[in-house]
Chains A and B, each alone.
Chain A
């Protein structure tokens, strides 16, 4: 089969995979090499649905011996099967990179013959890239569960970032839907990577995972608890959440008519962000066994439930307090801190600084003045917020849904 057809099939099967970020790596310029990572990641194009394309995201093959019922490539599904050769994939990557189409490679794969056989093919492709073409750019490799320790270690040496999909926050769901995977088999690659990266001689490697949302009954509380624990154990830099898109009529799964829970996915990303960068704990954001509020973003929902901390005087608040104000992000907080070291800030000054007050105004005072609602109750604030939300254009919502993840 020709390379055109292969690429079409193997790109198509990988496109719902959410992670596409190339950010977070350090600049690693090497003289005489091809490729250099960029700290903040670079979007190279945008698809007609408005998502950023940063990496050549493909499956090595869609052959698979596993029969995970939520997956389109499951062994029992009747679809066309193809595989790249390591050389084909390496050539594709290099030539795309040289033309500045992409930031690097995101390689994932179905399991052909057995785990180690597949892993060896992936390693072969990476070796051609790294040693033969001296490619120094970004490579994200999804490790194959149950592959042998030796191969996992080898793969980790070649990649910039590795990941292993946990798929579901509970072993019960995993057992039900992905009988050949176990909690141990998906966690082991990550543990190995962590161990390796702690050795001094090694470059630090960054790791991520993916969980499928809405295919199983776990609540957002359980999902965020799992993510938080992984972050605390320093096992992961990043968790991706993927709204389940129905692919079969299996009795254990939501019916094929179910719409993917995109809003829920978006809320999970927002909450995850708050946990990683804003100092929130998962149990502050969502109550035991509950889901996140769909109407308000997690920070606003938290603030409405904790009005006792508000309004916050922006001229006195610490950075930690400032970033907990709905509508004020890390950048906004830095601007405020910088500006207020010269003079006290009122609402006019905040506006001039370009601080968005649409949401924040309900939760702050500036020079003692409050400009929000007449009665400082959660209900009245929620009502005003809802009214202003309704006026927003719908594509702003989409932008937050599909920006670079």
Chain B
């Protein structure tokens, strides 16, 4: 059975609800518009906050804590390859929450893998994000992320730069996380023109580039390895590569 939903987390949980009560089993899950699909048997799911909430609460009750969190972590992915495995994962979890750790089952393993990928990418963002200092002392970072990681990333820097005001700007998602006077908030932004830089900014970015070059060992040059550890994707906003 092909099932279509709106791509939202709420929609997905509604899908689980309907699948359970209407007793159908999805074999393909898509977010394409129904009119565009030629197949006959399509179930279209309409997001329903009540139904989604029920599923959410019963997962929270029945699943292990780890198994429950994994569901949300998958939804940070920007790809759509996780819908079907996650659907099966949740149904298996309702049968027996032990199943959520049984990596012999393909869909469960896939869900575990997606979660790992999300965390790996988050860990990279922890290291590769670069801030510049604005003239009012606020630290400002532009980022591009493989997944919807801005809230997790901002929380990491909330702990780390707790005494500073900072802005992290996800240029693709058009969102900013703003940490101001110890409070962290999120906004949608269409465009964002950063105010002028502080007078020290150039000095320290120059010093950093200098340090970066000084610690490289010329006789052991291995750019292939460098590219493997730090793919070009991440370098766009990194000070030392400009």
Binding site for B on A (CB under 8 A): 3-4, 7-8, 11-12, 14-16, 27, 29-36, 38, 40, 42-53, 56-57, 92, 95-96, 98-101, 134, 137, 335, 338-339, 342-343, 345, 349, 352-353, 395, 398-399, 402
Contacts and interface: CB of A to CB of B under 8 A. Distances in A.
Query: Which 10 pairs of residues, A with B, have the shortest CB-CB distance?
Result: A50-B225, A47-B216, A49-B220, A11-B214, A29-B159, A46-B230, A15-B215, A50-B222, A42-B127, A36-B159
Given A96-B207, A349-B104, A398-B225, 17 more contacts: A7-B210, A34-B160, A44-B127, A47-B216, A48-B216, A49-B218, A50-B222, A50-B228, A53-B212, A56-B211, A96-B211, A98-B161, A100-B130, A101-B239, A343-B104, A352-B104, A395-B224
Interface stretch (B56-64, B73-81, B131-139): B131-139
B188 interface: no
Given A34-B163, A45-B240, A100 B229 contact: no
25 contacts: A4-B206, A29-B162, A33-B162, A34-B161, A34-B162, A34-B163, A43-B229, A45-B128, A45-B212, A47-B212, A47-B226, A48-B218, A49-B222, A50-B223, A50-B225, A51-B217, A53-B215, A95-B204, A99-B205, A100-B157, A101-B239, A137-B160, A338-B101, A339-B102, A399-B225
**Chain B interface size, under 10 / 10 to 19 / 20 to 34 / 35 or more:** 35 or more
Contact of A134 (B101, B109, B163, B238): B163
Contact of A48 (B131, B133, B200, B223): B223
B3 interface: no
Nearest to B229: A46
Contact of A12 (B102, B106, B131, B214): B214
A12 B218 CA distance: 12
A72 to B, nearest CB: 14
A339 B211 contact: no
A43 B208 contact: no
B173 interface: no
Contacts of A137: 160
Contacts of A31: 162, 182
B239 A49 contact: no
**Residue of B163, B182, B204, B238 contacting most chain A CB atoms (<10 Å):** B163
A21 to B, nearest CB: 13
